[in-house]
């Protein structure tokens, strides 16, 4: 009935040096907008004319040629992938080595511990990877490479969309998927049927000469371009976020508040282009912190509830609204997000002078040093205190707090993070705290350089372990310190403002979508040629060409051929003289549609293909060769007495 070949698919078929197949390159061209790789040339200047003018002209041609060649290399896919790999590789030190923008203290500790590596890392910029010159150079080169790659490919793809599929090559049997049959239908009728069939299958099709040219799978290149555009969007969003970001930490005790200004932060860092005006104007108060913990089992001490109840308002005169901030459930106000990151206790302490006057009364935050919230801190009385001689002094107390004290252990380590048996250990100092020296100091630690310890009458260091409500008296009537029964809790918040995150997310999703389209959609072309042979019978040829290797192309061509064959069936033998012999009588009918489709879908080349035809385009094709034994179609049976 018909003849179907399925050679090994190739991205671009071999061009025959003969003139007959010169047009195969046009038929197989522009299946991709990828730039053509160019080898390194020897010289662009060509022949140099004598004299200074000739040398200048030759130098100009040479410089321009090399510049163009380097630009082609930079905008090639190979270099873009190399730069993307280098960017990923360069980000590794930023995750393994402490960064000065994130934790300057750890950087200092690393340099103190590694006297040899520290200076080397500093010179290489490994303590500030994302702000280093080499990381920025890779980033900019990748950005330029992507833009230089995508702009010409986009215009080329737009031109392909506005154009039409190229016409059929002269030798369709050279293509990877091929089938042919003879029919009694007119060539014009076959082309009309093929055109309607291909358009129904969403091919872009048109009649070009004696054949119908069709193409499908433009979404593959669309996905490829979307992927590259998404990468550019992600790079811009990342750069925008790093340049304009801000990140600050604030510790707030229950009952206190916070206003989003620079002076309110305990710690603050921002991008190079960030300004104070970029801060979102809002404020909030911490009403209550709720923290509960598992009491039994292997998870004893693990938080089961960890939330902060706040009231916040936007702007100076905004309406106050209630909100609960939980772990990984931040408060979002404009471009800012407020995260709950830490928690601790703030015992309320009262300090009196020798006359009983209250000189200090407030909750003192203690910083946890272990998972059971064993905490340490400093109580600093800066003003209002006078010693027994009436001289103004400053008081300081080194404090250690445990929410659950282990009786009889003799150690100040908490056994459970909840307030089961709170104890406050204090050691007193007096003198100059050093807060007026102009040198920054940690508010949670004492600088004892200019301080003297309080001592008992026996000369021992004055210290005490206080339960809620207990008081430690200072020697010689110098005053007292009381651990009040009220114990407040504090919460640590991190306010992050990083623009561009939405664009980065959109770019990532678009990149995944575009990559899926470029991987799973095949761009392919199909040609249907219908011509009248010397004996007056119409010969139909169908062939397909894909962008890449795929076993689906012969299957799809078989489906299309079956649809066209239904309306232009194979011509059966009649009583007229054929090219191979005398008339045939009482020939059987053509096989039904299911047998036809099965034959056209065949992709087993050794069984169905005329190997000599597929490999050697010079070999003529016999119209009577139907390969009926493999296609499932019965061959014509000669009448009795006819010549064999």
Q: What is the structure's pLDDT at 583? A: 34
Q: What is the structure's pLDDT at 365? A: 96
Q: How far is Cα 457 from Cα 314, in angstroms, rounded to an integer?
A: 57
The answer, yes or no, to whether residue 418 has pLDDT greater than 50, is yes
Q: Three-class SS of residue 190?
A: helix
Q: How far is Cα 382 from Cα 343, in angstroms, rounded to an integer?
A: 26
Residue 172: closest CA among 294, 23, 8: 23
Question: For residue 312, with 0-12 CB atoms within 10 Å meaning exposed, 13-18 middle and 19 or more buried, which class applies?
Answer: buried
* Contact predicate 236/269, CB 8 Å: no
Confidence of residue 602 (pLDDT cuts 50, 70, 90): very low
The answer, yes or no, to whether residue 485 has pLDDT greater than 70, is yes
For 175-233, write each residue's pLDDT tens digit.
Answer: 989 999 999 999 999 999 999 999 999 999 999 999 999 999 888 888 888 998 998 89
Average pLDDT in the 57-72 region? Answer: 86
Average pLDDT in the 324-348 region? Answer: 94
Q: What is the structure's pLDDT at 16? A: 43
For 539-598, write each residue's pLDDT tens digit.
Answer: 999 999 987 666 788 999 999 999 999 998 887 754 343 334 333 333 333 334 334 344
* Contact predicate 498/245, CB 8 Å: yes
The answer, yes or no, to whether residue 3 has pLDDT greater than 70, is no
Rounded-to-10 torsion of CA 545, 551, 556, 562: 110
Residue 365: closest CA among 381, 382, 349, 384: 349
For 611-628, write each residue's pLDDT tens digit.
Answer: 333 333 333 333 333 333
For 83-136, write each residue's pLDDT tens digit.
Answer: 989 989 988 998 899 888 777 778 888 998 999 999 999 999 999 898 888 998
Q: What is the structure's pLDDT at 14? A: 40
The answer, yes or no, to whether residue 19 has pLDDT greater than 60, is no
For 562-576, write each residue's pLDDT tens digit.
Answer: 999 999 888 775 434
Question: For residue 17, with 0-12 CB atoms within 10 Å meaning exposed, 13-18 middle and 19 or more buried, which class applies?
Answer: exposed
Q: What is the structure's pLDDT at 550? A: 67
* Contact predicate 205/196, CB 8 Å: no
Q: How far is Cα 571 from Cα 391, in angstroms, rounded to an integer?
A: 122
* Contact predicate 633/1, CB 8 Å: yes
* Contact predicate 257/284, CB 8 Å: yes
* Contact predicate 380/394, CB 8 Å: yes
Given the structure tokens 């979508």, which residue do they identify?
513
**Percent of the residues in the chain that have a pLDDT greater than 70, as a whole number:** 81
* Contact predicate 526/543, CB 8 Å: yes
Q: Could you state, in order of their start, the residue ranges of all structural domains in the chain?
A: 2-15+167-216+522-631, 30-37+50-161, 246-497
Residues 6+ apart with CB under 8 A from 451: 396, 429, 430, 431, 432, 433
The crossing angle, in degrees rounded to 10, of helices 133-162 and 218-244 is 150
Residue 146: closest CA among 241, 235, 242: 235
* Contact predicate 382/433, CB 8 Å: yes
As a three-state string, the secondary structure of 586-607 is: CCCCCCCHHHHHHHHCCCCHHH
Give 299-366 as a DSSP string: TTT-EEEEEEEEEEEESTTPPPEEEEEETTB-EEETTEEEEEEEEEEEEEEEEE-TT--EEEEEE---
Q: What is the structure's pLDDT at 138? A: 92
Mark 507-536 as b/e (b = at least 16 C-beta within 10 Å): beebbeebeebbeebbbbbbbbbbeeeeee
Give 401-441 as a DSSP string: EESB--TTT-S---S-SSSSB-EEEEEEEEE--STTSS---
The answer, yes or no, to whether residue 7 has pLDDT greater than 60, is no
Q: What is the structure's pLDDT at 578? A: 37
The answer, yes or no, to whether residue 63 has pLDDT greater than 60, is yes
The answer, yes or no, to whether residue 446 has pLDDT greater than 70, is yes
Tokens of 331: 């408060």
Q: What is the structure's pLDDT at 108? A: 85
- Cα→Cα distances 634→268, 331, 595, 625, 629, Å: 86, 77, 10, 12, 7
Residue 482: strand pairing partners? 350, 471
Q: Three-class SS of residue 294?
A: coil
Given the structure tokens 């200074």, which residue do they identify?
52
Starting from the edge strand earliest in sequence, which strands make up the sheet with 282-293, in order?
257-259, 282-293, 303-314, 321-326
Residue 267 parent element (H or E): strand 267-270
For 36-55, write each residue's pLDDT tens digit.
Answer: 555 555 566 677 778 888 88
Q: What is the structure's pLDDT at 35? A: 57
Question: For residue 540, with 0-12 CB atoms within 10 Å meaning exposed, 13-18 middle and 19 or more buried, which class applies?
Answer: buried
Q: What is the structure's pLDDT at 400? A: 95
Range from 155-159, 262-266, 294-298, 592-596 carrying the lowest mean pLDDT: 592-596
* Contact predicate 213/220, CB 8 Å: no
Tokens of 643: 């010549």
Q: How far is Cα 489 from Cα 363, in angstroms, rounded to an integer?
A: 9
Q: How far is Cα 274 from Cα 56, in angstroms, rounded to an integer?
A: 48
Residues 6+ apart with CB under 8 A from 578: 584, 624
Q: What is the structure's pLDDT at 632? A: 36
* Contact predicate 129/92, CB 8 Å: no
Mark 221-260 as b/e (b = at least 16 C-beta within 10 Å): bbbbbbbbbbbbbbbebbbbbbebbbbbbbbbbbeeebeb
Confidence (pTM)? 0.64
Mean of pLDDT over the chain:
81
Q: How far is Cα 505 from Cα 155, in angstroms, rounded to an integer?
A: 27
Domain 2-15+167-216+522-631 has CATH 2.60.120.260: no
Cβ–Cβ contacts within 10 Å for residue 135, how many? 20
Residue 17 backbone class (left: φ over 0; alpha: ψ -120 to 50; beta: rest): alpha
Confidence of residue 634 (pLDDT cuts 50, 70, 90): very low
């Amino acid at each position: 009935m018909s003849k179907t070949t399925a050679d090994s698919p190739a991205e671009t078929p071999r061009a025959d040096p003969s003139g007959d197949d010169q047009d195969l390159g046009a038929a197989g061209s522009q299946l991709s907008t990828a730039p053509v790789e160019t080898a390194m040339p020897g010289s662009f200047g060509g022949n140099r004319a004598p004299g200074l003018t000739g040398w200048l002209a030759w130098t100009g041609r040479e410089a321009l040629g090399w510049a163009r060649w380097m630009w082609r290399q930079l905008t090639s896919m190979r270099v873009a992938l190399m730069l993307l790999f280098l960017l990923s590789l360069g980000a590794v030190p930023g995750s393994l080595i402490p960064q000065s923008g994130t934790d300057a203290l750890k950087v200092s500790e690393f340099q103190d511990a590694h006297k040899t590596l520290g200076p080397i890392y500093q010179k290489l910029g490994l303590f500030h990877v994302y702000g280093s010159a080499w990381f920025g150079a890779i980033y900019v080169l990748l950005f330029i490479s992507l833009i230089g790659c995508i702009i010409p490919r986009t215009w080329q793809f737009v031109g392909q969309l506005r154009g039409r599929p190229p016409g059929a090559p002269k030798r369709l049997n050279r293509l990877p998927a091929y089938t042919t049959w003879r029919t009694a239908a007119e060539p014009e009728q076959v082309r009309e049927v093929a055109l309607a069939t291909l358009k129904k299958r969403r091919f872009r099709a048109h009649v070009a000469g004696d054949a119908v040219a069709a193409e499908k799978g433009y979404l593959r290149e669309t996905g490829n371009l979307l992927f590259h555009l998404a990468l550019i969007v992600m790079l811009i969003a990342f750069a925008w976020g790093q340049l304009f970001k801000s990140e600050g930490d604030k510790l707030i005790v229950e009952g206190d508040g916070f206003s989003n200004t620079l002076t309110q932060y305990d710690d603050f860092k921002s991008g190079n282009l960030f300004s104070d005006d970029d801060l979102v104007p809002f404020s909030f108060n911490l009403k209550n912190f709720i923290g509960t913990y598992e009491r039994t089992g292997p998870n004893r001490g693990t938080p089961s509830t960890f939330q902060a109840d706040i009231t916040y308002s936007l702007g100076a005169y905004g309406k106050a609204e209630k909100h609960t901030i939980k772990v990984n459930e931040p408060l979002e106000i404009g471009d800012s997000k407020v995260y709950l990151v830490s928690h601790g206790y703030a015992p309320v302490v009262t300090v009196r002078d020798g006359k009983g006057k209250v000189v200090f009364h407030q909750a003192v935050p203690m910083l946890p040093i272990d998972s059971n919230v064993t905490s340490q801190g400093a109580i600093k009385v800066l003003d209002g205190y006078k010693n027994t001689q009436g001289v103004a002094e400053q008081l300081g107390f080194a404090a250690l707090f445990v929410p659950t004290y282990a009786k009889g252990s003799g150690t100040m380590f908490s056994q459970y993070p909840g307030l089961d048996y709170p104890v406050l250990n204090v050691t007193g100092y007096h003198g100059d705290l050093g807060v007026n020296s102009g040198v920054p100091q940690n508010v949670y630690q004492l600088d004892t350089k200019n301080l003297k310890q309080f001592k008992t009458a026996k000369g021992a260091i004055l210290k005490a372990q206080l339960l809620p409500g207990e008081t430690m008296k200072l020697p010689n009537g110098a005053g007292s310190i009381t651990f009040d029964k009220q114990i407040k809790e504090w919460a640590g918040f991190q306010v992050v403002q990083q623009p561009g995150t939405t664009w980065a997310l959109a770019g990532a999703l678009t990149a995944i979508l575009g990559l899926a389209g470029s991987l799973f959609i095949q761009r392919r072309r199909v040609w249907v040629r219908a011509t009248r042979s010397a004996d007056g019978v119409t010969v139909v040829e169908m062939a397909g060409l894909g962008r890449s290797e795929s076993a689906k192309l012969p299957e799809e061509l078989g489906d299309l051929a079956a649809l066209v064959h239904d309306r232009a069936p194979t011509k059966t033998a009649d009583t007229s003289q054929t090219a191979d012999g005398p008339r045939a009588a009482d020939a059987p009918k053509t096989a039904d549609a299911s047998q036809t489709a099965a034959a056209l879908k065949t992709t087993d080349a050794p069984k169905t293909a005329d190997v000599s035809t597929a490999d050697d385009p010079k070999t003529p094709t016999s119209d009577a060769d139907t390969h009926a034994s493999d296609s499932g179609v019965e061959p014509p049976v000669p009448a009795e007495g006819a010549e064999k």
